[in-house]
Amino acid sequence: MNIEAAISAFLDHAANEAGLSDATLDAYRRDLERFVGWCNEHELHDPARLGSSDVRSFAAAEHRRGLSPRSVQRRLSGLRRFFRYLRREGIVSDDPGRGVRAPKVRPKLPEVLDIDQVLALLDIPQEDELAQRDRAMLELFYASGLRVSELANLTWDRIDMNEGLVRVLGKGRRERLVPVGRHALKALTQWRRIHATVAGTDQPRIFTSLKGRPLGVRAIQKRVAYWSQRQGLDQRVHPHQLRHSFASHILESSGDLRAVQELLGHANLATTQIYTHLDFQHLAKVYDETHPRAKKKG
């Protein structure tokens, strides 16, 4: 059985017996067609004669032509399933895709705002009650590095206005204590007076509509996006960017990764280490702009 016939048999099996979705089948078909094309270019027509070095060469060729590591990994996953089928059918004696790894996926760096952008975003004119609520919301995002879900669920009893601290219930119901800056405390104090009027004393949630109903995550996201446009930023800001900016700016100033981990509520330090890449990017930029040996020639 040649490679084209083997792939045709596998796709028929996958469609009729494995219960895969049409989208998955289409993805397998596209990926395996690429593999067939590569095999034909290298005159490899018998699947029983393919080895791990062939699959590895195919993956490398796909990466060289611009395919992302994630897409290469998807193609390898399809190939492994294909060869497992061939083994069960007795067409091949071994799985040449086993143990072949895709190129390492580089972590996607979070988008952050620089300090001037943050200050511009937070400079919300206190023109009405809605603006005062939103100012308190954005100030708290940046002051304490909260997730949007954490901010949406935050209640007044969790903020110590005297000590400037907030007890946050994060992922996995892990609680952490985070400082609240003076600008955020001032904005929260102003909003609390309005909140008592529009929501009453029985509503524990901090951020509500002017009718006293708690704001959901989507509503908060919309308000952040609204102010990013209103304040003239050149991008649509989402709440997590303020959390990323909080972490990046603290790490840039202090260099204390463990402290940033505690402030963000990360269970694993590896999660926090993404910000060291951001910090290095900043240092590299400074180096390129200032070091005599790094400057580009005019």
Catalytically annotated residues: 147, 171, 240, 243, 266, 275
Contact (Cβ atoms closer than 8 angstroms) between residue 121 and residue 141:
no
Contacts with 137 (C-beta within 8 Å, 6 or more apart), sequence order = 151, 207, 220, 223, 224
Establish how many alpha carbons lie within 13 A of residue 95's alpha carbon, considering only the half-sphere containing its beta carbon.
18
Q: How far apart are CA 65 and CA 58, in angstroms?
A: 11
Cβ atoms of 39 and 16 within 8 Å: the answer is no
Q: Do the strands 159-160 and 175-179 form a parallel or antiparallel pair, or are they unpaired? A: unpaired
Q: Are 31 and 78 in contact (CB under 8 A)?
A: yes
151 closest CA partner among 221, 209, 201, 199: 221
- CB of 20 closer than 8 Å to CB of 12: no
Q: Are 188 and 140 in contact (CB under 8 A)?
A: yes
The structure tokens listed for 102 are: 């895709």
CA dist 268 → 6, 201, 265 (Å): 45, 38, 9
Please work out, in degrees rounded to the nearest 5, the angle formed at the alpha carbon of residue 155 by the alpha carbons of 154 and 156: 130
